[in-house]
Each structure stands twice: as structure tokens, then as C-alpha cells.
Chains A and B, each alone.
Chain A
Amino acid sequence: MNLDFSNKDQIFREEVKSFIEDNLNKETARRIGEGLPVSKEDTQEWQIKLSNKGWMAPNWPKEYGGTGWSLTQRYIFDEECGAASTPRTIPFGVTMVGPVIIKYGTEEQKKKYLPKILSSDQWWCQGYSEPGSGSDLASLSTKAIKDGNCYIINGTKTWTSLAHHADMMFVLVRTRSDCKPQEGISFILIDMKSEGISVNPIVTLDGSSEINMVYLENVKVPLENLIHEENKGWTVAKYLLGHERVSIAEVARSKKALSRVKEIARLNLDGGRSLTKNDRFMDKLIKCEVKLQALEYAELKVISDAVKGNPPGAEASILKIRGSEIQQQITELTLEASGYYAYPYQMKSMEKGSNEPIVGPSWGVSSAPKYFNTRKTTIYGGSNEIQKNILAKMVLGL
């Protein structure tokens, strides 16, 4: 057992670092580091640089344009991106639907969609949850009815992140009702420019609107947009969720965010003293770091096992549970450190290029919005309650 990276990995790390150094927009990195929102253009700028370098899809096999990296190299890449505050690659294309198309898609589907994900020409969103189907996803009721060479789709999808920026959406729809709910679901790709689609933003507690309601009214979708077989969508969805759960631990980003809390704690905020002299605050900070270290090791273990040919099972839910909790704790610490500067509502001054005067220190501006927004992490991607159900059933055998 050892934690050392090989020489080859060290060299790879240097290569990643220097690529980031040369290509990352410094202003974008600063904004991400301070918890400020990133525009589609900022993300696109970064994705195109990755794409040009051939690094857009670390998780795809080489023959489809993936990097061909080992799991360790992928880990190093994520770690360096987190540490440098790069924009996040939008996961719906490259992390979610990409692997699905690679595994279940026809040759034609692969040719049609994969290159545009790699080049970042097409942005994707995920049509899973519905107003009546959240944790109980299999109860979804958006219907697709065959009509000639098309499906006619009707229903409502919700919590659809970035639907307003997306060119394509992958959806779960009901194609059969006279069976177990899971056995009547299909996985279909929809062009967001289709007639009958409307996207309504949902404003979240922090005042931002990254998520949407997507209404589908008699939307015509060609039959060839079906992935895998009709009524086999649940198998596809489970395959995809497995991918989502592992990537959701966010260790590298949390390490970066926690180091920022430490910097803040070193400032003289507390009546001429720094918060590092405040034992109560420091206890909370250190307890959070203890959890984060455990999570980091757990993630490395998953990678190490996977390298040996043992892919993660239900244990991945542990990473999701603790990872999401740690993300929340970090925003809580920043909120506490901000003191009275958690109060001012400064949505306008958070926008890129804003000249609005800031109240309080610049790092405090996003502290309360981040805290409120981050409540979502224990809810999305399969709520933590659902993750615990999975663990109780699959790992504990209860």
C-alpha cells in the first residue's frame, strides 16, 4: 500500500498544470474562486481549449475521442482543475449522455452526437425529474406515443439545469403503462429547438436561475432518437446514474474551497484578531477538513480498486452523501466568517463586469447566496435519503 503517484503520473501532473496555466482565463478563475457565477461564454471558452487539446472527454475510450488516460490520470486532472478553479465541464454531455451513447447508441447516433459533445458545439441537459416524480423517478408520466416515424411527447420535466443554454436534451419518457413502472420507460434524445418545447426558469433561493421547468407539448421526435431498445430506458438511466454518483464527490473543488475558508480565517476580522484565534470556529473548520480527508482517501480507494478491475458498486453512494455534506459545511463556514457581511443582497454586483459598489469584503459577497444555493447538493443527484436507502439495501443487505 502506498499513496505515491508514479513518476509517469508526476510528469502528467506537470503537463496538466502547465496547460491550465497557459489556457485558463485568469478573471474567470478568480470569479470561480470567489464563488461568483460563471457565464455560458466563460465555460465555453474553457471547454473549447480542452477540446482543441483533445482533453474534453477524460472518461471516454480513445477510439471515440477520449483521452485514454488511466483512472489515476483522470483523478490528477480533476484535482488540478479544482485547485486552479477552472470552469466545470458541463456534465450532461460529456459525463452523462456521452458514455450512454457509447454503450447503447447505434453507429449513426455515435457519429451524429459524440463529435459535437467533444467540440462543445452542442450543449446537453437532462430531462429526468418531473413535478410528481423526484426520488420516485420510475413513476414518471411524460408520455411518448408512436406516430408514424415519430414519437409524440407530452409532459413536464423539472429541475433541468442549464436547459436555457442547451441544444439537446436526453429524457426519460413513458412508452408503456401496462407493466411495472420501470419496464415502460424509454431513453430518448430531443432537439431543444423542436416545436412545442418551452423552457421556464426556476429562481432559486439565492436569486439565480440555473434550473428550469421544461414543458413538452406534442413535441415530435424522430424514432431514430431512441437510445437502446424501447422500454429499456431504466437500464440506461441506472447506467448513467452510476456515472453521476461517483463524479459528484467533488473532493478537489472542496479542497480548494476549504483552503479559501482558511485564507479568510487568517484575516483580521474579529475585533482586530483573526478567526484562527476563535476556537469554536476553528473546531468546525478542522472537523470539516477531517471529513474531507476521509472522503479523499475513500475516493482514491475507489480509483485504486477500479484500476484493479473492481468498479465501484453501491459504495459510491457514500461518496455522494459525504461529498455533498462537506460542500454544504464549507459554505456554512464562509457564511459564518462573513459576520454581518452575509446580510447585503448584492446580486447585481456579482454579475460579470459589474460596476456596482460592493458592501464589505469581496469574498463575502457570495457567502449567503452560496450557502442557500448549496442546500441543493444533498437533494440532487438522488437525494441523500435515497442514497441511504441504496446503501441499506445493497450494502447492509437490509
Chain B
Amino acid sequence: MDLSFSEDQELIKSSVEKFITDNYHSQKRRKIIAEAKGFNESIWKSFSELGWLGLPFPEELGGHGGGLVDLMILMKAFGRGLVIEPYVSTIVMSGKLLTLCPQGNLRDNILSDIIKGEKKASFGYAEPGSRFNSHDVETIAKKTSNGWEINGHKTVVFGGGQSDYILISARTSGDRFDKNGISIFCLNANSPNLNIQDYPTIDGFRAAEIRMKNLKIDDEYLLSEKDNGYEIIEETFLNTIVASAAEASGIMEKMYEMTLEYISTRKQFGVAIGKFQAIQHRAVEMLILSEEMSSLSAMSALTNNKSLTNKKTIYSSKIHIGIGGKKLGQEAIQLHGGMGVTEEMEIGQYFKRLTLLDTFLGNSDFYLKQYAKIDF
């Protein structure tokens, strides 16, 4: 057993931390959020040059063969820096989904374009009625003579309006909730009969409503085997949760540090408020919650580094984002007093992202239920 990072991993860590210190301060982020696309081309180019766009992909697909631990290191730093570029939607989620789909010209080209930083992709799984059940699919793909015709609505598709390719789940057979009969398709963002309603999300990212009305595509745009897409989606979710937990861990660590700084300098009644025991104990509790997130994040990355086999560690990290993250976030705001509820203070920006990370891919209630199903 050795829980320290390898030399390569230390290198990733220092390069991403340096990048954020040098190029991604809060003013810059706020400027990027205000831009029409909600991301910055030159930052994306830097991601590519630094090798992060290819990080989690196998070498045979043009990637750098990084494992989940490498991804965790990167994502934790992204969390600390509150990076709002569409890395999770394009690289972590769509990238994994494509990697798991069978080899084919279209898939290989998209992957190669993504890794080179030339194209972006997003994955639409949620629907207006599905809540967190990814097998609740009412979007229908009907076979035509030389392809498919798709009708449906994918909701809150992260990075949807920023993408060149939109990957979606659609039903090719079975009933609404059947796990069998779900397939994965690829849509060109500029397809006719595809309506993309892009909007900012409250945590500084972007998402879109994707509506398909009699949308016709060729056969090759079916990326998964027909009817067999659900397992791919499930595995993509697990992989994304590991990245998401690392991001949450970075956010929580940073929020704890900012709060400690605040209570050490904010004076009332003639002393720093951090001198009051009632405040001290709450700050210590925040430290513990942050450490727990870090542990669960590392545990889920490590035990699943080679293949996604241990759902329990992954679910644990997701559950703690919701329960521990909510507690830590609320305390961070409370201990900042009035300053905590202002848009100007950075703590609130982190709070918003952390709050919504609970919802991402299903909230803690949802995963408590999934966890219980494993052993009982």
C-alpha cells in the first residue's frame, strides 16, 4: 500500500494548480461566464496543450492513458479553481460514453476531434419526466429504410449549446422504463429538425433543452449496439461520479480554507470571531467534512482505477457530496455572515456549484436507495 502520488501524478497536480493560479482567477472566470458561449477558446486550447483533453483516454485512441486517479487529481484542482469550462460534459462524460461504444469511423473521428480540442460533445440523458432515472426514456428512435427518425426532448443537457455533437439516449424498443431497448445516437448540432435552447445555469455553467422532431439521421449515427446502450450509460455515470466527487472535494477544501481565513480576520466584539469556541467547533466540523470528501473521492478513484467494479465506494462519494457538501456549504455561508450571501464574495460561487453537484446525475437520496439495493 502506498497512498502517495506517483511522480507523473505529482506533475499533473503541479501543472494544473499552476495553471489555475496563473490563468484562472475569479475575475477571469466571471468574464468567461458573461461571454456568449460561456467558455473561452484560448483556455480550451491550453487544456489541449497541457494534455488534459486526452488525459482519461486509452493510448490506442490517441489519449494519454490516464486512470481515474489522474482524473481525480485534475478534477480536484478544477474544483478548487471553480473551472466552468465544459470539461466534464465533453471529456469525462461524452468521452467515456464514446469510448465504451463499439469502434467505428464516426465514433473514432469524434473522439479524435475531442482529444485534439477541435470539437466538443455533450450527452443528453434526462427527460422532463425522468428525474434521475436514466432508464426512463421516452425519446423514440424509429427505424427508417436507411437510418432512424427521432422524436423527443432531452432536458438540462450540460454543455448542449456548446457542442458540435450531441449524444442522446433514445428508445429503440421496449416500454418507457425498460433497461433493454435503449440505444445511443449521435446528432450533429446543426441538424435540421433539432432545436437547441441554450441557457446559463445558476452555477456558472451552461445547459440546453434539446428537442427533436422527426429528426432523420443515417444508420452510422447509431453509436451503441441497437437496444444495448443502457450498460454504457450506467458505466459512464459511475465514471463521471468519480470525477464529480473529486471536483466536490476540491470545492469543499477551498470553501473550508476561505471560511477559516474569514473567521480568522473578521473581528467583532474586539476579537477575530474565530476566537469564539462556538465558531471554532463548527469550523472543525467543516474540516472533517472536507477530509471525508477527500477520502471518499480518493477511495472511489483508487478502488475503481482499472475498471469500474466497486459501486459502493462510488455511491459513497456521491452521497457525501449531497449530505456532507450541503452541511459544509451552509455552514460556510453562515460563518461568512451577510458577506456570505453576496454575489461578490467567492464563497457564494463555490456554494452554488457545490449545491448543484448534489443534483448532478441524481441526488444523495437517489444514491442512498441505489446503495441499499447492492447489499440488501
Contacts and interface: CB of A to CB of B under 8 A. Distances in A.
B176 A272 contact: yes
Interface in B308-355: 326, 330, 333-334, 337-338, 340-344, 348, 351-352, 355
Contact of A205 (B136, B342, B359): B342
A100 interface: no
A280 B368 contact: yes
B376 interface: no
B131 A158 contact: no
B363 interface: yes
Contacts of B27: none
Contacts of B201: 343-345
A349 B359 CA distance: 22
A135, A339, A380 — most chain B CB neighbours (10 Å): A339
Interface in A354-377: 357, 359-360, 368-369, 371-373, 375-376
B330 A375 contact: yes
Contacts of B177: 271-272
Contact of B337 (A135, A205, A270): A135
B342 A271 contact: no
Contact of A339 (B131, B176, B330): B131
Nearest to B203: A343
Interface string A322-345: 000000100010011001111111
Contacts of B337: 134-135, 379, 383
B365 A375 contact: no
B156 A271 contact: no
Interface string B357-376: 00100010100110000000
A359 B209 contact: yes
Contact of B342 (A202, A270, A385, A388): A202
Given A278-B365, A357-B197, A372-B352, A339 B132 contact: yes
Nearest to A132: B267
Given A280-B368, A371-B355, A139 B341 contact: no
B344 A272 contact: no
Given A135-B268, A280-B365, A372-B348, A379 B341 contact: yes
A234 interface: no
B3 interface: no
A159 B128 CA distance: 39
Contacts of B326: 332
Contacts of B355: 335, 368, 371-372
Interface string B254-280: 000000000000011110010000110
A350 to B, nearest CB: 12
Nearest to B134: A271
A207 interface: yes
Contact of A272 (B136, B334, B368): B136
A320 to B, nearest CB: 14
Contacts of B330: 328, 375
B343 A205 contact: yes
A307 interface: no
A204 interface: yes
Contacts of B129: 268-269, 271-272
The interface size bin for chain A is 35 or more
Contacts of A268: 129
Nearest to A356: B199
B172 interface: no
The interface size bin for chain B is 35 or more
Contact of A340 (B136, B270, B351, B359): B359
Interface string A380-397: 100111001000000000
A104 interface: no
B304 to A, nearest CB: 25
Given A135-B268, A139-B268, A368-B356, A343 B340 contact: no
A269 B155 CA distance: 14
Contacts of A343: 156, 201-203, 207, 356, 359
Contacts of B351: 205, 372
B199 A205 contact: no
Interface in B127-165: 128-133, 136, 155-156
B54 to A, nearest CB: 28
Interface string A81-102: 0000000000000000000000
Given A340-B155, A342-B359, A204 B341 contact: yes
A229 to B, nearest CB: 26
Given A204-B341, A345-B201, A379 B126 contact: no
Contact of B126 (A340, A378, A380): A340
A203 interface: yes
Given A270-B133, A340-B359, A345-B202, 13 more contacts: A134-B337, A204-B342, A205-B341, A335-B355, A336-B365, A341-B156, A344-B201, A357-B197, A359-B155, A372-B341, A379-B338, A383-B337, A384-B334
12 contacts: A134-B338, A159-B338, A202-B344, A205-B352, A269-B129, A271-B133, A280-B368, A342-B202, A345-B200, A369-B202, A375-B341, A379-B340
Interface of B: 126, 128-133, 136, 155-156, 176-177, 197, 199-203, 207, 209, 267-270, 273, 278-279, 326, 330, 333-334, 337-338, 340-344, 348, 351-352, 355-356, 359, 363, 365, 368-369
Interface of A: 129, 132-136, 139, 158-159, 202-205, 207, 268-272, 278, 280-281, 328, 332, 335-336, 339-346, 357, 359-360, 368-369, 371-373, 375-376, 378-380, 383-385, 388
In order of increasing CB-CB distance, the 4 nearest A-B pairs are A136-B268, A271-B133, A340-B156, A203-B343
